[in-house]
Structure 1
Amino acid sequence: MKRRNFVRLTSAAGFSAFVLPLAQCRESRGNESDEGSDSELSELTVSQLQAKMKSGDVTSRSVTQSYLDQIARLDKDGPMLNAVIEINPEALSIADTLDEERKKGKLRGPMHGIPVLIKDNINTADRMQTTAGALALEGNIAQSDAFVVKQLRNAGAVILGKTNLSEWANFRSTRSSSGWSSRGGQTLNPYILDRSPCGSSSGSGVAVAANLCAVSVGTETNGSIACPAAMNSIVGIKPTVGLVSRSGIIPISKTQDTAGPFGRTVADAAMLLGAMTGRDPEDAATSDTPAKTPTDYAVYLDPDGLKGKRIGVEKDFLNEHERVDVLFKHAIDQMKKLGAIVIEVDYMKTQDLGDAESTLLQYEFKDGVNAYLSESNAKVKSLDDVIAFNKNHEDRVMPAFRQELLEIAAAKGNLDSKEYKEALRKILNVRKLLAAEFEKNKLDALCGPATGPSWCIDPVNGDFWTGYGSYGPAAVSGFPSITVPMGYVNEIPIGISFLGRAYDEPGLISIAYAYEQVSKNRKAPRFLKSVKLEN
């Protein structure tokens, strides 16, 4: 299946509140920016926040309150970004506890006292719901934290709230619009408000970009971290499948799902990643994690990380979109100046799978969601219950697109099916093909533009994918990828994705950090209403 068609099945999603005047993009000849971030914490990194807490300039409580104020101003009262679906009512009390620990000299690590937003398909055992953005799951209060949330709490993070997402992580319709859920409405892109924020981790990406938090957690099956990172000019790390536990996360695919961090810098994303990892007896995939897996990825932030590195570039990406081509060629030149050896390769062919990937996801989604719902506190206890609920509440749940992916998945058999096993065989073979590509050319990483320019939010036709998707083979194979800002086309962010070997997050972080330091592409959003025409 081609990436463009596949993404319609998995990576972005939906729309409600379709009364928004965003069905068509508008062209502007003037700077329509009328919003901005006035928070004293805007663009501060995790390290800078830690330095301020250490000096006493701020506390975890004051930082948490500042982000809460920013959420109220930009997410609810201002341009209504709809990035945050729910605030943790215990956030300030958690911050107070961590401030007391700091006073007593107890510091849990680099995330101590740092507020973190969590995607709303990840269980938190508190007063917040876990719904995957679906009205069908409204009222679902998890009995226990997801493993990754336990890790974050142990690391001293303040769970600030839940972020909106493409409903069911975009596994609902082939005609969905990224960043919409029936519970949370439409998430907007803070750079150009009528452009897609991508998804499915839309709210997590937008929140970091708009300074509603310093770092956040998203999830990815194929592109749901990489694409929001690219389209919101931030950094997203999609870890090797198995590095971060999936237990307590509403699933799509046990073969491809993973959680991962967002930050405005490679350093911030790397620090959050270190707090998320760990072996979990409830997720067998984590048992394959190497025994010496790092817990501190900040040590790999090397400004010379590209020196002598062999970087594979997909040759078909050098003639896709004239404006993106310019950015990508400039990125290649910058890498070469830092000592990288750039080699043209043909790695996207590893993703030519026919219908195998969509077939795999349909089977695994049914199996995983039924297992999750059967043990949850949701009123619906099966995928069939979800489908029935949506039909009974069609005016609220399906105002513009349907639920055909849910219905297709529900009609599938179990994981003993011959069709499923054949699809799984083809997917697992991608790992061999991609590993062989690395070995043949002695590569340290592959890279390419993460996406083309963001498309207009369109509740009628859904998403319009614009080529690239260079991160796709890493997602299918379970290998890691990291996406970093590469520049802008008419103020629309463009990202570059680096793909690595399994469990080589250290090498990828080193490469991405070196590129980030020489390119320095990120700039804060200006909340423009539409694209400005250049004279």
Structure 2
Amino acid sequence: MTDERCENHNGKPFVLEEATVASVHEAMLDGRLTCRQLIEGCLARIEAYDKKGPELNAVILVNPHALEEADRLDERFQTDGLTGPLHGIPVLLKDNCETFDMPTTAGSLSLEGFETHKDAYITKKLREAGAVIIAKTNLHEFAVWGETISSILGQSYNPYDHTRTPGGSSGGTGAGLAANYGIVGIGTDTINSIRSPSSACSLVGIRPTIGLVSRDGIVPYSLTQDTAGPLARTVADAAAVLDVIAGSDPKDPVTEACLGKIPTSYLDYLDDEGLRGRRIGVLRSFFGPDDDLHREVNACMEKSLQIMRDAGAELVDISEKIDSGYLVKNVSVHIHDLKTHLGQYLEGFGDAAPIHSLADVLASGKYHPGLKSNLDEAMGYDVGTPAYNERLKKRAELQKQVLAIMDEYAIDAIVYPHQQQLVCKTGGSQQERNGVIGSVTGYPAVVVPAGFSTPSDDAPIGVPVGMEILGRPFAEPQLISIAYGFEQHSHLRRPPLSTPPLA
């Protein structure tokens, strides 16, 4: 499918760019598309745009077995039809998720070539659902920060503006999905890391409730706050992935909390009128002031809020002041957990792992120099200290505060810009991201495209802006309904001009 199209005798083409799970399966069932043709089309785009053309530098490793897996799925299709809800769907997998047949580096040269010879729980679930892991994507090394720069690959770039980062830490997945390297993707999220690239790359991202998705087989950052979830170009595709990866796993005991709380299918909540009759709180303290730095994001948000009103939602301003910067610096335990939780993970592999601790990472020198201050800081922390326990106390207070606000205002969800200013330029660091409220509480949040900044020479259609929607624990069905209703009334997702269809 070198021209990214496959035609049957009726002449109706399958178009790869912006394809969805549903459109892929429809084309397969109609005989217009095979899994091999789909995978070949995605591989051609990676070849054309990742290290050439705009050089997005989003992919650490292309799955060398992808076409073999596609052929096997095509053979099974001839006798069994679609083998699962993600039959043949190419997935971009963040490279801190284990794969039995490929290395898992977490973006670090200290883990170059490291193979665990097993799949993470979510990788296994994706494969069982018929998906093909087409590539492992770049991340900010060890998922520690938000610009998606690593020693294993370097800087990934935003396909909408090559002078900017794609957000992070799951920015390789974000940039690749925006550029149509695959149909859906997986990110992990400790503070902002699914929602940041979703916001920066005009995508949908779901950070699930802690306990809905197993972290087994994912290189940990902070097991207090870590989770994994889908990135996609549509709410429906994100919901389809969540269907597959959600569930209890004995190897991650916190997932016992999801028992009895998962619907038959999250796809059942795709309601065109998902906003009608909803009462939604607007967290004004998470908006930037009306100045040049924040004006573009604020303008997109106000337009998006009006779309919500026009679609039947009642919006109420929340007067309580919550400071996202304070939460990152004084409540989040991410950096306090890193030494202990990463060390426990690495120690479990014994001699099979090239390193066994955060100290080993530092001693090896095999990490991006921009990470050193974070690693040095993490070396000075431990879990269980009085300072750590004080943060856990503040975390519990924030959980109660958010639920109290939702009860007081009688609201179904809270909305705010994911990032108060546009995603940062390469060489800079992300500022004023708001995802910490979901990460610290462990409550679910969905980011949806909320428009674009004013076009410029560097960003010919503008820089994407994302709106975040926060809900109560295990309220993913309601959030998906709200997000889908907004999507169907806004249609704000647009593909980047830097990665057009291949001739």
Q: Map Cα deviations across residues 452-500 of structure 1 (whole Å, 9 max, x no partner).
A: 2122212xxx3152x3x34331121001111111111121111111111
Q: Map Cα deviations across residues 397-447 of structure 1 (whole Å, 9 max, x no partner).
A: 445x2512212222323x332222222221122211111111111110100
Q: For residues 471 and 402 of structure 1, do their structure 2 counterparts lie closer, same or farther at Cα, with a shift above 3 Å needed?
A: closer
Whether the aligned pair in 1 keeps the contact of 2:190 and 2:334 (CA below 8 Å) is no
Name the CA distance, whole Å, in 1 between partners of 2:492 and 2:59. 26
Shift of 1:91: 1.2
Whether the aligned pair in 1 keeps the contact of 2:91 and 2:185 (CA below 8 Å) is yes
Residue matched to 2:136: 162
Residues 1:203 and 2:189 are matched in the alignment: no
Residue matched to 2:341: 368
Shift of 1:353: 4.2
Amino acid corresponding to residue 387 of structure 1 in structure 2: L
Residues 1:289 and 2:258 are matched in the alignment: yes
Q: Map Cα deviations across residues 233-275 of structure 1 (whole Å, 9 max, x no partner).
A: 1111111111110011111111111101011111111111111
Q: Map Cα deviations across residues 36-80 of structure 1 (whole Å, 9 max, x no partner).
A: x96740111110011011111111111111111110111122221
SS at match of 1:162: strand
Residue matched to 2:445: 481
Residue matched to 1:13: none
SS at match of 1:494: strand
Out of 386, 407, 429, the residue aligned to residue 463 of structure 1 is: 429
Whether the aligned pair in 1 keeps the contact of 2:213 and 2:229 (CA below 8 Å) is yes
SS at match of 2:80: coil
Residue matched to 2:481: 510
Shift of 1:323: 2.6
Residues 1:53 and 2:28 are matched in the alignment: yes
What's the TM-score once normalised by structure 2's chain length?
A: 0.90
Q: For residues 347 and 67 of structure 1, do their structure 2 counterparts lie closer, same or farther at Cα, with a shift above 3 Å needed?
A: farther
Q: For residues 295 and 410 of structure 1, do their structure 2 counterparts lie closer, same or farther at Cα, with a shift above 3 Å needed?
A: farther
Name the CA distance, whole Å, in 2 between partners of 1:205 and 1:286. 26
Residue matched to 2:403: 435
Residue matched to 2:149: 180
Q: Map Cα deviations across residues 77-121 of structure 1 (whole Å, 9 max, x no partner).
A: 222111110011111111222222221125343211111110000
Q: For residues 136 and 346 of structure 1, do their structure 2 counterparts lie closer, same or farther at Cα, with a shift above 3 Å needed?
A: farther
Name the CA distance, whole Å, in 2 between partners of 1:354 and 1:132. 22
Whether the aligned pair in 1 keeps the contact of 2:449 and 2:467 (CA below 8 Å) is yes
Whether the aligned pair in 2 keeps the contact of 1:427 and 1:476 (CA below 8 Å) is yes
Q: Pick 1 or 2: higher relative contact order, CA cutoff 8 A, min separation 6.
A: 1
Q: How does 1:61-80 map to 2 (within 5 A)?
A: 61-80=36-55
Whether the aligned pair in 2 keeps the contact of 1:350 and 1:434 (CA below 8 Å) is no
Residue matched to 1:9: none
Shift of 1:315: 2.3
Q: How does 1:516-527 map to 2 (within 5 A)?
A: 516-527=487-498
Residue matched to 1:426: 394
Name the CA distance, whole Å, in 1 between partners of 2:402 and 2:342. 29
Name the CA distance, whole Å, in 1 between partners of 2:288 and 2:377. 37
Shift of 1:348: 5.5
Residues 1:43 and 2:12 are matched in the alignment: no
Residues 1:249 and 2:224 are matched in the alignment: no
Q: How does 1:395-414 map to 2 (within 5 A)?
A: 397-399=367-369, 401-413=370-382
Moved over 6 A (4+): none
Q: Map Cα deviations across residues 103-161 of structure 1 (whole Å, 9 max, x no partner).
A: 112534321111111000011111x1111100001121013211111111111111112
Whether the aligned pair in 2 keeps the contact of 1:236 and 1:482 (CA below 8 Å) is yes
Whether the aligned pair in 2 keeps the contact of 1:350 and 1:433 (CA below 8 Å) is no
Residue matched to 2:228: 259
Out of 429, 439, 449, the residue aligned to residue 417 of structure 2 is: 449
Residues 1:144 and 2:118 are matched in the alignment: yes
Q: How does 1:275-424 map to 2 (within 5 A)?
A: 275-316=244-285, 317=287, 319-320=289-290, 321-346=294-319, 349=322, 351=324, 352-353=326-327, 355-358=329-332, 360-376=333-349, 377-390=352-365, 393=366, 397-399=367-369, 401-413=370-382, 415-424=383-392
Whether the aligned pair in 2 keeps the contact of 1:311 and 1:343 (CA below 8 Å) is yes
Q: Percent identity of the aligned residues?
A: 41
Name the CA distance, whole Å, in 2 between partners of 1:350 and 1:426. 13
Q: For residues 453 and 318 of structure 1, do their structure 2 counterparts lie closer, same or farther at Cα, with a shift above 3 Å needed?
A: closer
Amino acid corresponding to residue 526 of structure 1 in structure 2: L
Shift of 1:224: 0.6
Residue matched to 1:105: 80
Residue matched to 1:16: none
Residue matched to 2:9: none
Farther-moved stretch of structure 1 (98-107 vs 344-353): 344-353
SS at match of 1:254: coil
Name the CA distance, whole Å, in 1 between partners of 2:252 and 2:282. 34
Amino acid corresponding to residue 73 of structure 1 in structure 2: A
Name the CA distance, whole Å, in 2 between partners of 1:488 and 1:363. 36
Residue matched to 1:192: 161
Shift of 1:363: 2.9
Whether the aligned pair in 1 keeps the contact of 2:183 and 2:232 (CA below 8 Å) is yes
Name the CA distance, whole Å, in 1 between partners of 2:362 and 2:355. 10
Residues 1:222 and 2:196 are matched in the alignment: no
Name the CA distance, whole Å, in 1 between partners of 2:36 and 2:163. 34
Residues 1:115 and 2:79 are matched in the alignment: no
Name the CA distance, whole Å, in 1 between partners of 2:310 and 2:247. 37
Amino acid corresponding to residue 491 of structure 2 in structure 1: K
Name the CA distance, whole Å, in 1 between partners of 2:232 and 2:289. 30
Amino acid corresponding to residue 89 of structure 2 in structure 1: I
Name the CA distance, whole Å, in 2 between partners of 1:366 and 1:197. 27
Whether the aligned pair in 1 keeps the contact of 2:59 and 2:135 (CA below 8 Å) is yes
Whether the aligned pair in 1 keeps the contact of 2:144 and 2:221 (CA below 8 Å) is no
Q: For residues 436 and 513 of structure 1, do their structure 2 counterparts lie closer, same or farther at Cα, with a shift above 3 Å needed?
A: same
Shift of 1:276: 0.9
Name the CA distance, whole Å, in 1 between partners of 2:495 and 2:283. 30
RMSD: 1.9
Whether the aligned pair in 1 keeps the contact of 2:174 and 2:197 (CA below 8 Å) is yes
Q: For residues 402 and 515 of structure 1, do their structure 2 counterparts lie closer, same or farther at Cα, with a shift above 3 Å needed?
A: closer
Q: Map Cα deviations across residues 310-351 of structure 1 (whole Å, 9 max, x no partner).
A: 110022327442232222121111111111110000456175
Residue matched to 1:18: none
Name the CA distance, whole Å, in 2 between partners of 1:483 and 1:509. 10
Q: For residues 347 and 508 of structure 1, do their structure 2 counterparts lie closer, same or farther at Cα, with a shift above 3 Å needed?
A: farther
